[in-house]
Amino acid sequence: MSRDSVLRIENLGHSYGKFKVIEDISLTIGKGEMSALIGPNGAGKTTFYNAISGKFPPTKGKVFLNGEDITGLPSHRVVDKGMCRSFQITNIFTELTVAENVFSPLIIQQNKHFKLYGNVFNDQQITEKAMDTLEQVGLGGRTDQVVANLAYGDKRLVEMAIVLARDPSVVLLDEPTAGMNPEETENMINLIKKLAKNSGTTFFITEHDMKVVFSLAEKIYVLHQGHLLAQGSPEEIRANEQVQEAYLGRKVHA
Amino acid sequence: MKKRVLSILITLAFVLVSVIGAHAASTVKIGFTYIMSGPFSAYGQFAKQGAELAIEEINAAGGINGQQVEGFFEDSTGKADVALRAIRKHVYQNKVDMLIGLDSSGVAKTVVPSIEKMQTPLIITHAATPDVTGSVCNKYTFRISLNLAQNVKAAALLAKETGAKKWTTVGPDYSFGHQSWEYFEKYLQELNPTTTFLPKDQVAFPPFKTTDFSAYITKVMSSKPDGVFISLWGGNLIDFVRQANSMGFFNADFEVLFSLGAATEVLTALGDKMPEGLWVGTRYWFLANDSAMNKHFVDSYFKKYGAYPSYNAHGAYSAVYAYKAAAKKAKSTDKMAIVNALEGLKIEIPTGTIEFRKGDHQAVTDAHWGKTAAAPGYPHRILKPIKIFKGQDVTPAVSETGCSLGAAM
Amino acid sequence: MMTQNNHNLLGPALLTILLLLAPLVIPVYWVMLLSEILIMGLMAVSLNLLLGYTGLLSFGQGAFFGLGAYTAALMLQAGYENLFLILLAGMLVALLAALVVGFFSVRLDEIFFAMITLGFGMMFFSIAHNWLDVTGGSDGLPVFNLPSLNLFGFQLTFYTPINMYYLVFVVVLIAISLLWLIVHSPFGLILKSMRENKQRVSFIGGNVKTLRIAAFAISGAFTGLAGVLFCLFNNMATPEFMHWSFSSKPIIMSIIGGTGVFLGPLFGAGIFFILEQIIIQYTENWMLFLGIILIPIVLFFPQGVFGTLRNKFFKQGSK
Amino acid sequence: MEFLLLNILNGLSWGMLLFLIAIGLTTVFGVMGVLNFAHGSLFMLGAYLCMQSMKYFDSFWFGLLVGPLCVVVIGVLVEKYLLKRVYDRDVSYQLLLTFAILLVLDDGVRMIWGSGYHIVEPPAILNGIISIAGQDYPVYRLFLIIIGPIIGGLLWSFFHFTKWGKIIRAASFDNIMAEGVGINVPLIYTSVFALGTWLAALGGALAAPQQSLIPSMGEKIIIESFIVVVVGGLGSFPGAFAGALLLGLLESFGTVFAGRLQMAIPYILLAVVLLVKPNGLFKKGV
């Protein structure tokens, strides 16, 4: 096991009653790595994400983050340990402004969420950090806008900012480009690339758009009917016959 | 010059006229606080009718001390805080000289301290809790209606006569029901030490909002008592009587006493569904006495409203007359003078002659009980025979009430 | 650059001055009514910390209001006459009860939360209604003495309506200012975030349960404070204060005034009382007319009367 | 033993009445997502209009038939002109609107019929007494115990075997999808509300021979049926049945065993169920 692994998952499984959604998944993600999880609809990607990010505890297996066992911790504790995620359906604070959206994680990070006085806008530590984060995702100029009024792509950027605000060591992105137009998708890809390069953050994404996956990921995991079917570099995956059969089909060659 | 004198004269005349006019137009104001809306608004309506009749009569007869009477009616909704707001409106906005009203015991008990602060006399006409002329009594608060202790004392006297040995109760699950039972136990035990009472967990206290009494009826019947003392009232009583009737409750081998069974709103609603031959009590019964005053009251009430007066109508009607008598005695409508005049005042009201005791401000008044009976010409049951318990026989001694009015003075 | 929403303090300052001077010009009865509006307004603003800011509809606030009132009544009965002690004790008792109720309730949402808080509230009601020896049972507790305040050697009492009004005014002013601070604090922002998306709060590291319990407890404590004032103002504590129908009052007031504006519920309380007074003037069927007026308020003022009007006149074009 | 039996019967007859009110409430919630505070007032109107229509033909059965139908007309108007506008609003607005409707209906009835008590006689055939285990028991209560499951069964069949019933069930699960496949959702909402109204009013008409009529008679039953609906699981048909029977029996036996706690029984049941099963005993699904 490489010493600088950030996320290590051992024999993870989750079942509802007798129905096993995911089973026996083991993988190790190294620090700063950009990896992707792919698989057809119903392969168990979202369940996998939910089980490791604390939405519900997995019924089997272990999750280690930076060497620490985080199995079954509730989501807010997982975040405290350094893993933050986005959702397939944009998950932000709709009626608040862009700035306020990013304040929330920062308040919690600085343990000020039970502070009953003082205005966040006067808190230099928080405002500066928020500004930085927003600049990073390219929303620096729109801090005062209410998020509900933003375009779809920008809303996803807000979620990205929320996820990044707490400097997580691992970022899970669930279909970051879902529902985006080509231009927005392009921007998102570039953004993720840039962030990975600048911050050294570990990204672990799921994506149905193969173009995105192959243009981003250094390592790809293929989930099929709840099992890990294959893993490897994009080239290896492309060449893997099992994967082609099960899932990729002609798409890759197209 | 002349013009100026004239104008001064005219101005003076105006001032004079307006002063006299204002004086002539000034009225005696009475503030009534009753439940005028919601589930129990019927009680407020009765009281209002009684009060308006009295005011009309008094005004036609020249008013109080020569002044016309003006009545203000506010809604208590049966809630203590709202009732207090209504009373404040009377005192501070309507600037009344006198307060009359209050249906609910809880309301009466909790607003009484404020009455003292507002220094305005109040005659309670319905609320029955012994406490307002007992533990929380004060100088400004009087009660003209029969209170719980008086009513229950009469019930105990009656219960003794029946000879029933083992008693239980059905009462609403709030202070009134529980207090009724406690007083009943106490008084009957004194009158007949061999009587037994079912323990607290075996008697029936249905919550106030109960509409289905079958479980309680079953409970009481299966406890096989010799006598049942029932303090339910209003809609609870109506539902209970009908359901009990259909479950054979009244055919069972025990005595039944309804402490508030002879209320006209209950008898009217039940009509011939009220079984005959049950003992029912009331604070006022319109056929209970033949005095000219009662006849006049019942006739003019019936003429005006097409119904027989209920105890609440009687209470409000009598309270207005009591106020008139006090004002006459005091030769003033000054609030303090009225309070002093009311103390010890003896006056005839339709139900008989009463006296506001000095010691606790409770009216010493007769208690009426009777057996339900069908009677031609009446759409509902009437009482036959009627049993009248004299006020001095049923009113507890001041020393028993817990009122320290005399001592504080 | 980031700018905070401009908190225009001109309006509140003006309102404070008006309230301060009001007793000089309006009749005594209206001064008393104003006291009541302020007390119920405090209850509504406290409730709105949950309803408007945290997104929780509590149907059990009456319990905390009643606990405040009973605490005050019982302390006065026992001879404690220190005003601060009574105010603080009432708040504390309500706070503790709210912590317990909150602990069990906050994991539920929406109508389930409303129902479980209603259930807990009614349990308190049942206790108050039946525990004759302590609470006076259904009759409630009458209060005979009021606490006094020793202010630089002056013994200040609150037996006159005007003195009582200023007591209420000062306490409510302080309480509402504190609530204003809380609403605009980091904690307040987290509350709003939870209202918007509690899942997201949990996925940025916020413990939704403890945060909600804290909000519930704070709201309960201030509701308890309002209860203490109500007890002093009316010289009574009765089980009615704990009934669900009493709990529904601040909800109605908040919605009338507007849950999205900090002072909306306070205005809602004012509108509610004044409306009631006006209707009662003309008819005994005030319930009917109250209903008839409430219907268009719900239908045509989606942000409440105060909120909608404010948005119409002051915030045009912000969206 | 007989005592046990009588308490069970008492619990069942009260439970069945609760059940009728609760299924209307839960169906309306299941399909439209609206918790109707005025449901108790529709119950009350059912009782009053039953009484009123009985005056014309002097037959309880006529009142039972016509009274609730008159209430349905009012219900449809309420849905079409008022409720419709708050479907996508927050639950607190729905509660306030239906509360306002409650005020109007309750006070309106008080203006028309007065604030006094009224009673309705059961039909002669049900007015008797029957001997059960040596105790007299009113026939009308047994009638209530029987009529509950019959109506419940009919509704169940309606939802499961008729086209309309199936459409309504589809709409209750996903109204957007229902709209997508060409179902007239507004029409469904109106008819579901009419059905709910009819059930409430029928409950009122059935209760009329049992309890005195006053304008506020819906207030107790609305809170208890809220509790039944939440305990059973919002929108759940079997849940409403189970919840109503559970509450009915608990209240019946509570009079014997709970002492002064009896007043709190419904609320304790509510809290306990919500703590153990936050979504109620049964899953949604009419």
Q: Which residues of chain C have pLDDT under 70?
A: 1-7, 314-319
Cβ–Cβ under 8 Å, residues B121 and B31: no
Surface of C (269-298) touching D: CB under 8 A: 285, 287-288, 290-292, 294-295, 298
Which residues pair with residue B32 across a beta bridge?
B73, B100
- CATH at residue B27: 3.40.50.2300
- The answer to whether residues B379 and B273 belong to one domain is yes
Report pLDDT for C315.
56
Between D68 and C309, the higher pLDDT residue: D68
- List all residues 6 or more positions away from C138 whose beta carbon is below 8 Å from its beta carbon: B106, B174, B175, B176, C129, C239
Closest to A223 (Cα-Cα) out of A27, A63, A43: A43
Model pTM score: 0.92
Mutation for C interface: A102, A108, A121, most C CBs within 10 A: A108
Q: Distance, in angstroms, between C7 CA and closest chain A CA?
A: 11
Task: For residues C293 and C290, give the distance between their C-alpha atoms in angstroms, rounded to a whole number.
Answer: 5
CA distances from B106 to A163, B112, B180, C36, D60 (A): 58, 10, 14, 20, 40
Task: For residues C76 and B233, give the distance between their C-alpha atoms in angstroms, rounded to a whole number.
Answer: 34
Chains D and A touch (3+ CB pairs under 8 A): no
Specify if C267 maps to a domain: no
- The answer to whether residues B23 and B168 belong to one domain is no
B212 φψ region: left (φ > 0), alpha (ψ -120 to 50), beta (else):
beta
For residue B256, the Cα-to-chain-centroid distance in whole angstroms is 23
Mutation for C interface: A90, A116, A162, A166, most C CBs within 10 A: A116
Size of interface C-D (CB pairs under 8 A): 111
Specify if B107 maps to a domain: yes
Task: For residues A222 and A214, give the distance between their C-alpha atoms in angstroms, rounded to a whole number.
Answer: 13
φ/ψ of residue C260, rounded to 5: -90, -5
- Structural domains of chain B, count: 2
Nearest to C112 among D82, D102, D230 (CB): D230
Chain A residue numbers touching C261 (CB-CB < 8 A)? none
Specify if C39 maps to a domain: yes
Which domain covers residue C224, as residue numbers?
Answer: 27-244
Q: Give residue limits of the domains in chain D.
A: 2-215
pLDDT in tens, A105-135: 999 999 898 989 888 888 898 999 999 999 9
Chain C residue numbers touching A115 (CB-CB < 8 A)? 185-187
Burial classification of residue D220, based on how many CB atoms lie within 10 Å of its CB (0-12 exposed, 13-18 middle, 19 or more buried):
middle
Tell whether C6 lies on the interface with A, counting CB pairs under 8 A.
no
Task: For residues D114 and D281, give the distance between their C-alpha atoms in angstroms, rounded to a whole number.
Answer: 41
Interface list for chain B against chain D, based on CB atoms closer than 8 Å: 37-42, 45, 173, 200-201, 204-207, 209, 211-212, 214-216, 218-219, 221-222, 234-235, 238-239, 242-243, 246-248, 251, 265-266, 268-271, 273
Q: Distance, in angstroms, between B211 CA and closest chain D CA?
A: 6
Interchain contact, B219 vs D260, CB within 8 Å: no
Q: Find the mean pLDDT for residues D76-105.
A: 90
pLDDT classification of A73: cutoffs 50, 70, 90: very high
**Could you tell me what percent of chain D has a pLDDT over 70?**
94
For residue B174, the Cα-to-chain-centroid distance in whole angstroms is 18
Interchain contact, D263 vs B200, CB within 8 Å: no
Size of interface B-D (CB pairs under 8 A): 108
Nearest CA in chain B to D211: B239
- The answer to whether residues B138 and B214 belong to one domain is no
Nearest CA in chain C to B208: C138
Nearest to D100 among C259, C285, C291 (CB): C291
Which domain covers residue B23, as residue numbers?
Answer: 10-147+289-365
Mutation for D interface: B75, B205, B214, most D CBs within 10 A: B214
- Structural domains of chain C, count: 1
Task: List, in sequence order, the alpha helices (H) in chain C.
Answer: 10-25, 28-48, 61-77, 83-105, 110-130, 132-135, 161-183, 186-196, 198-202, 208-234, 244-257, 264-282, 286-300, 304-314
**Could you tell me what percent of chain D has a pLDDT over 90?**
38
Nearest CA in chain D to B237: D212
Segment (H or E) for D12: helix D2-32
Specify if B162 maps to a domain: yes
Specify if C309 maps to a domain: no
- The answer to whether residues B343 and B255 belong to one domain is no
Chain B residue numbers touching C28 (CB-CB < 8 A)? 92-93
Q: Is D285 helix (H, G, I), strand (E, B) or coil?
A: strand
- The answer to whether residues B82 and B223 belong to one domain is no
Cis peptide bond N-terminal to C239, omega within 30: no
Report pLDDT for C317.
38
Interchain contact, C104 vs D91, CB within 8 Å: no
Q: Find the mean pLDDT for residues D41-62.
A: 91
Q: Distance, in angstroms, between C274 CA and closest chain D CA?
A: 17
Report pLDDT for A254.
36
- The answer to whether residues B140 and B62 belong to one domain is yes
pLDDT in tens, D170-223: 776 666 566 666 677 788 889 889 999 999 999 999 999 988 898 888 888 899
Chain B residue numbers touching C132 (CB-CB < 8 A)? 175, 178
Q: Distance, in angstroms, between C288 CA and closest chain D CA?
A: 4
Q: Distance, in angstroms, between C220 CA and closest chain D CA?
A: 19
Nearest CA in chain C to B35: C284
Report pLDDT for A197.
84
Q: Distance, in angstroms, between C185 CA and closest chain A CA?
A: 5
Nearest to C137 among B36, B84, B175 (CB): B175
Q: Which residues of chain B have pLDDT under 70?
A: 1-25, 406-409
CA angle, corner C76, sides to C75 and C80, nearest 5? Answer: 70
Q: Distance, in angstroms, between D184 CA and closest chain B CA?
A: 40
Task: Kindly state the tokens that stand for C207.
Answer: 């413990």
For residue B195, the Cα-to-chain-centroid distance in whole angstroms is 30
Interchain contact, C200 vs A127, CB within 8 Å: no
Task: For residues B101 and B109, give the distance between their C-alpha atoms in angstroms, rounded to a whole number.
Answer: 13
Chain C residue numbers touching B129 (CB-CB < 8 A)? 139
Q: Which residue has the tokens 């798409």?
A: A251
Task: For residues B2 and C319, give the distance between their C-alpha atoms in angstroms, rounded to a whole number.
Answer: 74
Specify if C273 maps to a domain: no
Q: For chain D, list the contacting chains (3+ Cβ pairs, <8 Å).
A: B, C
Kindly provide the ipTM of the predicted complex, given to two decimals.
0.90
Interchain contact, B112 vs C142, CB within 8 Å: yes
Which residues pair with residue B230 across a beta bridge?
B170, B258
- The answer to whether residues B234 and B189 belong to one domain is yes
Q: For chain B, list the contacting chains (3+ Cβ pairs, <8 Å).
A: C, D
pLDDT in tens, B12-37: 555 555 544 444 458 999 999 999 88
Q: For chain C, list the contacting chains (3+ Cβ pairs, <8 Å).
A: A, B, D
Task: For residues B225 and B255, give the distance between their C-alpha atoms in angstroms, rounded to a whole number.
Answer: 9
pLDDT in tens, A9-37: 999 999 888 888 898 999 999 988 899 99
Report pLDDT for D286.
45
Is residue A249 over pLDDT 60? no
Interchain contact, C234 vs B80, CB within 8 Å: yes
Task: Kindly state the tokens that stand for D63.
Answer: 């009142």
Specify if C293 maps to a domain: no
Chain D residue numbers touching C111 (CB-CB < 8 A)? 35, 91, 230, 234
End-to-end CA distance of chain B: 63
- Most confident region among A179-188, C98-107, D82-91 by mean pLDDT: C98-107
pLDDT classification of A253: cutoffs 50, 70, 90: very low
The three-state DSSP-derived secondary structure of chain B is CHHHHHHHHHHHHHHHHHHHHHHHHCCEEEEEEECCCCCCHHHHHHHHHHHHHHHHHHHHCCCECCECEEEEEEECCCCHHHHHHHHHHHHHHCCCCEEEECCCHHHHHHHHHHHHHHCCCEEECCCCCHHHHCCCCCCCEEECCCCHHHHHHHHHHHHHHHCCCEEEEECCCCHHHHHHHHHHHHHHHHHCCCCEECCHHHCECCCCCCCCCHHHHHHHHHCCCCEEEECCCHHHHHHHHHHHHHCCHHHCCCEEEECCCCCHHHHHHHHHHCCCCCEEEECCCCCCCCCHHHHHHHHHHHHHHCCCCCHHHHHHHHHHHHHHHHHHHHCCCCHHHHHHHHCCCEEEECCEEEEECCCCCEEECCEEEEEEECCCCCCCCEEEEEEEECHHHHCCCHHHHCCCHHHHC
| Boundary-marking domain end, from B327, B348, B365 | B365
Q: Find the mean pLDDT for residues D61-83.
A: 93
Nearest to C185 among A91, A93, A116 (CB): A116
Interchain contact, D251 vs B215, CB within 8 Å: yes
Nearest to B41 among D115, D141, D263 (CB): D115
Task: Kindly state the tokens that stand for B38.
Answer: 């919601």
